[in-house]
């Protein structure tokens, strides 16, 4: 039986096993281009990808470019995206970020972290997703699944998502980040869920910590 004594040992196993389980890493948010990806990622805040994918067809039928979204009334955007939650805030952000993309970026989604994070509704995590999935720039967006699993797998102290991101970037090869963050999400949704595993039950948790008997109560 392999004994994983360091975080680096555990990370190497996680990296290898997730690549075996998920050789392909499709982007889970349905989109047509860079702009529709950005919109979908903004909508995904505190919302499932399934829910986002259920509302974006109606939204994109009316506004699938920054120019069209900037002209669409906030109330109309909010009506369509209401199932995603936080509709007043997200709808205002989508209209304004679209206006700024047209005014300051010639209608093209900006290609840098700083420019993306300057847009309304786009924080570091959203910018990281866009940079990774749209522009293939190495990034490690940390969502609730990744934060939870990184703690269960002993890859981070888990004080906050910022610390988790920094710890994971140190442990995994830079050229693995973009695929790996999706693989961890896929595994977290399918095997190491918030309620379905407590740090002792799923394959990876049990392999890394075969002697663990107590549930892992991570930091949020």
Residue keyed to tokens 């961890």 = 184
Q: Which of 125, 167, 169, 170 is catalytic?
A: 125
Q: φ, ψ for residue 31 (rounded to 5)?
A: -155, 165
Catalytic residue among 143, 169, 170, 198: 143
Contact between 14 and 7 (Cβ < 8 Å): no
Distance, C-alpha 14 to centroid of its chain: 18
Is the distance from CB of 218 to CB of 148 less than 8 angstroms? yes
Interacting residues of 17 by C-beta distance below 8 A, sequence separation 6+: 203, 204, 207
Q: Is 125 a catalytic residue?
A: yes
For CA atoms 200, 17, 45, 54, the dihedral sign is: negative
Give the whole-angstrom CA distance, residue 201 versus residue 9: 20
Neighbours of 130 (CB within 10 A): 26
Q: Is 143 among the catalytic positions?
A: yes
Catalytic residue set: 125, 143
């Amino acid at each position: 039986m392999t004994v994983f004594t360091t975080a680096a040992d555990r990370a190497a196993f996680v990296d290898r096993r997730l690549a075996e389980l998920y050789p392909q890493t499709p982007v889970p948010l349905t989109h047509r281009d860079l702009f529709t990806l950005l919109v979908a990622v903004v909508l995904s805040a505190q919302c499932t990808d399934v829910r986002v994918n259920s509302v974006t067809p109606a939204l994109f039928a009316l506004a699938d470019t920054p120019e069209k979204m900037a002209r669409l009334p906030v109330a109309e955007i909010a009506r369509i995206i209401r199932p995603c939650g936080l509709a007043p805030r997200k709808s205002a952000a989508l209209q304004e970020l679209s206006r700024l993309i047209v005014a300051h970026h010639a209608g093209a989604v900006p290609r840098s972290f700083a420019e993306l994070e300057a847009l309304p509704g786009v924080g570091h995590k959203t910018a990281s997703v866009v940079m990774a999935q749209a522009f293939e720039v190495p990034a490690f967006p940390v969502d609730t699944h990744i934060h939870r699993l990184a703690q269960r797998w002993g890859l981070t102290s888990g004080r906050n998502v910022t610390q988790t991101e920094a710890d994971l970037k140190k442990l995994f090869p830079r050229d693995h980040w973009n695929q790996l963050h999706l693989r961890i999400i896929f595994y977290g949704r399918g095997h190491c869920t918030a309620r379905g595993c407590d740090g002792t039950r799923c394959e990876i948790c049990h392999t890394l910590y075969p002697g663990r008997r107590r549930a892992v109560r991570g930091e949020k």
